[in-house]
Structure 1
Amino acid sequence: MKLGVFMVLFAGKPFEEALDYISSKGLDAVEIGTGAYPGNAHCKPEELLADAGKLKAFKQAVESRGLTISALSCHGNPLHPQKQISQEHHNTFLQTVELAQRLEVPVVNCFSGCPGDHEDAKYPNWPVAPWPNDFQEILSWQWENKVIPYWTESGKYASDRGVKIGLELHGGFSVHTPATLLRLREAAGEVIGANLDPSHMWWQGIDPVQSINILGRAGAIHHFHAKDTSIDPINVNRYGLTDMQSYTHMLDRAWQFRTVGYGHDLKAWADIISALRLVGYDYVVSIEHEDGLMSVEEGFSKAAQNLQQLLIKEPLGEMWWV
């Protein structure tokens, strides 16, 4: 396994300065945002695709520091019912896949998106209950008319270019659990897999180790994010896991994102790393920092220190004791 970081947390630093800082911390890989919600501070696909010199310099900047690019990421909502938003995010996805092909990056990370509840809807509609039956009707319409058709076509576009799609299982989007990921994968093909983030499993009440087992046995983990979650035992009884308060209301929220080791202890993270190795995932573990109690530098540094103790880096040998 290799340790990486989702570079968007260093959007305020120039690209090469951020790479120098990341390299100084002993990391192996970077995941780079290309637009939509993560922004494109370090990577503008349209510019790189149009200029072979810029593309070569971009790649060299990473490789000269002993780093690799684990994924390009364009998390957005290509199924948004407002066409201006969905088209922009879709175009970014297409450009990101093309750029990944040119850079020989194997994975593009994104969200599945979430449609509205009918053709003339203005906002996404995320059904989370089976009754009243209206919600079931909305869910069926979304998957049959939007989710499956879009990702079947987009999956083929990526597959034809040798690129895998890592969908982040994230609340608010159609694919948010192991079951919904596998449902889409069955319909759209093995090009679809997970960019699995334990933080989103914990707040949905899903055990990350079990999600790794479920998805890993299907070969459906394409990329992995390292982010933690803490659940407040008092606030969760007041607001529930679907707490709609702003992330800035940290004192009152039912749960909040934390850096690795500050939501769950290192034994929990050791179990996660072991589960990844058990199902054959030996790719990059990419740190994502969204901890409201720590600065970017401190949160990133502590996550890196904690994970460097736990990562299993050497190839498997024979069981000499058997």
Structure 2
Amino acid sequence: MKLGVFTVLFAQKSLEDVLDYIASKGLNAVEIGTGGYPGNAHCDPDTLLADAGKLKAFKQAVESRGLIISALSCHANPLHPQKAISSEHDSVIRKTIELANRLEVGIVNTFSGCPGDHEDAKYPNWPVAPWPNDFQDILKWQWEQKVIPYWSEIGALSESAGVKIGLELHGGFSVHSPGTLLRLREAAGKAIGANLDPSHLWWQGIDPVQAIHILGREGAIHHFHAKDTTIDPVNVNKHGVTDMQSYALMLDRAWQFRTVGYGHDLKVWADIISALRLVGYDYVVSIEHEDGLMSVDEGFTKAVQNLKQVLITEPLGEMWWV
């Protein structure tokens, strides 16, 4: 396995400075934002697709520092009911797929998106209960009319480009659990898989190790994010896991994101890494920093230190004891 980082946390720095800093930490890979919610501070698809020289220089900047690009990421909502939003997000996903093909990057990460509840809706509607039956009607309409048709088209496009789609299982979007990911994958093709982030699984009550087994047995893990979560044992009984308070209200929230090792100990993370290898995932573990108690540099540095203790980096070789 290789250790990488999602570079959007260093958006204020130039690409060259970011790459130098990441290489100095002994990492092997970078995941780079190309638009959507993460922005495109280090990688503008329009610029690189229009200029072969700039495209070559961009690739060389990464490779000359001994790094690889693990994925291009454009987390967005291409199913948003407001056409101005969905069109923009759809466009960046398509451009990112083309750019990934040109750069020989195999993964594009994004969100599944979430539609509204009818054609003239203004806002996404994320049903979280099967009753009253209205919610089932909404869910059926969303999947049959929006989710499956859109991702079937994008799945075919990405497959023809030699690119896989890593959907992050994130609350608020149609694909948010192993089950919903596999449902879409069955309908839209095997180019669709997961950008698995345990931080979003923990707050939903999903065990990341079991999620890895469920998805890994299907070959459905395309990329992996390393981010932690802690659940407050008092606040969760007041607000529940679907706590809608701002992430900034850390003292009052039911759960909050932490850097690796500050939500769950390293034995838990060792189990996660071992499960990934067990199901055949031997690619990049990409650090994502969204810890409200630590600066970017400190949170990133501690994640690097903790993950280096548990990451399995060498080929297995033969089992000499068998």
| TM-score, normalised via structure 2 length | 1.00
Q: Does 1:81 align with 2:81?
A: yes
Q: Does 1:236 align with 2:236?
A: yes
Look up the SS of the partner of 2:170 in the other structure: coil
Look up the SS of the partner of 1:314 in the other structure: coil
Distance of 2:38 and 2:296 partners within structure 1: 15
1:162 matched residue in structure 2:
162
Match for 2:102: what amino acid?
Answer: R
Give the alignment of 1:182-221 within 5 angstroms.
182-221=182-221
Distance of 2:303 and 2:313 partners within structure 1: 17
Q: Does 1:222 align with 2:226?
A: no
2:296 matched residue in structure 1:
296
Distance of 2:117 and 2:270 partners within structure 1: 41
2:248 matched residue in structure 1:
248
Deviation sequence 1:277-319 (CA, Å, 0-9, x none): 0000000000000000000000000000100111101111111
Deviation sequence 1:117-166 (CA, Å, 0-9, x none): 00000000000000000000000000000000000001101100000000
Distance of 2:192 and 2:92 partners within structure 1: 18
Match for 1:109: what amino acid?
Answer: N
Deviation sequence 1:88-118 (CA, Å, 0-9, x none): 0000001000000000000000000000000
Distance of 2:291 and 2:250 partners within structure 1: 10
Match for 1:293: what amino acid?
Answer: L
Deviation sequence 1:22-63 (CA, Å, 0-9, x none): 000000000000001000000000100000000000000000
1:113 matched residue in structure 2:
113
Distance of 2:312 and 2:271 partners within structure 1: 11
Look up the SS of the partner of 2:65 in the other structure: coil
Look up the SS of the partner of 2:109 in the other structure: strand
Look up the SS of the partner of 1:32 in the other structure: strand
Deviation sequence 1:195-254 (CA, Å, 0-9, x none): 000000000000000000000000000000000000000000000000000000000000
1:147 matched residue in structure 2:
147
Q: Does 1:69 align with 2:69?
A: yes
2:6 matched residue in structure 1:
6
Match for 1:113: what amino acid?
Answer: G
2:308 matched residue in structure 1:
308
My pick for the range that moved more, 196-205 or 310-319, is: 310-319
Q: Does 1:18 align with 2:18?
A: yes
Match for 2:59: what amino acid?
Answer: K
Look up the SS of the partner of 1:108 in the other structure: strand
Look up the SS of the partner of 2:215 in the other structure: helix
Distance of 1:196 and 1:22 partners within structure 2: 22
Give the alignment of 1:49-64 within 5 angstroms.
49-64=49-64
Distance of 2:282 and 2:251 partners within structure 1: 37
2:273 matched residue in structure 1:
273
Gaps of 5+ in 2: none
Look up the SS of the partner of 2:263 in the other structure: coil
Distance of 1:3 and 1:49 partners within structure 2: 28
Distance of 1:90 and 1:83 partners within structure 2: 10
Q: Does 1:122 align with 2:109?
A: no
Gaps of 5+ in 1: none
Distance of 2:304 and 2:57 partners within structure 1: 27
Distance of 1:109 and 1:249 partners within structure 2: 28
My pick for the range that moved more, 299-308 or 311-320, is: 311-320
Distance of 1:284 and 1:170 partners within structure 2: 20
Match for 2:46: what amino acid?
Answer: E
1:262 matched residue in structure 2:
262
2:131 matched residue in structure 1:
131
Distance of 1:193 and 1:146 partners within structure 2: 18
List, as ranges, runs of 4+ consecutive aligned residues in structure 1 with deviation greater than 4 Å. Answer: none
How many residues are aligned here?
Answer: 322
Look up the SS of the partner of 2:320 in the other structure: coil
